[in-house]
């Protein structure tokens, strides 16, 4: 009733048009205020985050040189992380451990925005921690440290090559599935004989196939698969070479 009485007056005096104009003016002021707040707070915050992220990416673009301070600092950081998570918990490594080593690994820390390190443990088939590891990727170079209770391995992965140190000393270089001894002679220590889509990857040590590494890329090996099947006893450099290759296959 009131609307019907007021409607002719409102049309005559353009009340609705003026009300719409006032509404649009208030809406425009609110949009200007919102844009001002974006300029004052949100955009600067995005800029700062972008600068920090860009700086982190720039640092990440450094390709580690084993003689550089960046390389040594990264090693110490990863060693510290590995010691803190595995101190006193690794079961002793002995001659029987190859047959007990499993493909199961637990990741205790995932990489984040500014901390690219990954940490974890490989267990035996009885769920005992036997290998601790820590890794990070910096630019196009990957750095991986893994240790048993007896031995430490360092892997520097770049392109098709992986340099390997055992207990701090240059041990070998893996190129196209061939493990070459470090040094000028480049003696062949081991060879991986099968593509990565097979269930097992045979490992030739010397002139014979000494072991087979179960392929961690396959998901049909059962709930608790062994990492290695030994075909003959290994010791010395052969054991070191086989363990290095096994760790690379499991942790890559």
Backbone angles phi, psi at 49, to 5 degrees: -60, -40
- C-alpha 30: how far from its chain's center? 47
- C-alpha span between 118 and 163 (Å, rounded): 19
Q: Is 56 exposed, middle or buried (0-12, 13-18, 19+ CB in 10 A)?
A: middle
What does the H/E/C string look like for 155-166? EEEECCEEEEEE
Contact 111, 118 (CB under 8 A): yes
Model confidence over 160-208: pLDDT tens digits?
Answer: 899 999 999 999 999 999 999 998 777 999 999 866 667 889 999 988 9
Residue 207 has phi, psi (to 5 degrees) of -105, 5
Mean pLDDT for the stretch of residues 52-75: 64
Helix/strand/coil for 41:
helix
Q: pLDDT for 98-124, tens place per residue?
A: 999 999 988 766 655 555 678 889 999
pLDDT of residue 185: 79
User: How much is the pTM?
Assistant: 0.72
Contact 120, 227 (CB under 8 A): no
**pLDDT > 90? residue 82:** no
């Amino acid at each position: 009733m009131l609307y019907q009485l007021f409607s002719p007056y409102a049309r005559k005096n353009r009340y609705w048009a003026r009300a719409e104009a006032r509404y649009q003016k208030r809406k425009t002021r609110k949009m200007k205020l919102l844009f001002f707040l974006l300029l004052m707070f949100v955009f600067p915050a995005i800029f700062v985050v972008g600068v920090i992220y860009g700086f982190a990416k720039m640092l990440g673009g450094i390709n580690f040189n084993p003689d550089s301070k960046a390389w040594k600092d990264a090693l110490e950081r990863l060693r510290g992380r590995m010691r803190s998570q595995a101190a006193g918990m690794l079961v002793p490594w002995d001659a029987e451990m190859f047959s007990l080593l499993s493909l199961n690994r637990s990741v205790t820390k995932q990489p984040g925005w500014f901390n690219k390190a990954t940490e974890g443990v490989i267990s035996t088939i009885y769920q005992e921690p036997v290998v601790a590891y820590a890794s990070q990727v910096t630019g196009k170079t990957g750095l991986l440290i893994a240790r048993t209770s007896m031995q430490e391995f360092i892997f520097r992965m770049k392109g098709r090559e992986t340099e390997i140190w055992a207990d701090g000393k240059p041990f070998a270089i893996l190129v196209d599935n061939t493990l070459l001894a470090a040094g000028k002679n480049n003696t062949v220590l081991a060879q991986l004989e099968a593509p990565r889509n097979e269930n097992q990857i045979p490992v030739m040590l010397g002139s014979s196939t000494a072991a087979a590494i179960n392929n961690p890329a396959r998901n049909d090996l059962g709930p608790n698969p062994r990492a290695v099947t030994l075909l003959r006893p290994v010791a010395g450099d052969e054991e070191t070479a086989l363990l290095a290759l096994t760790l690379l296959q499991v942790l890559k």
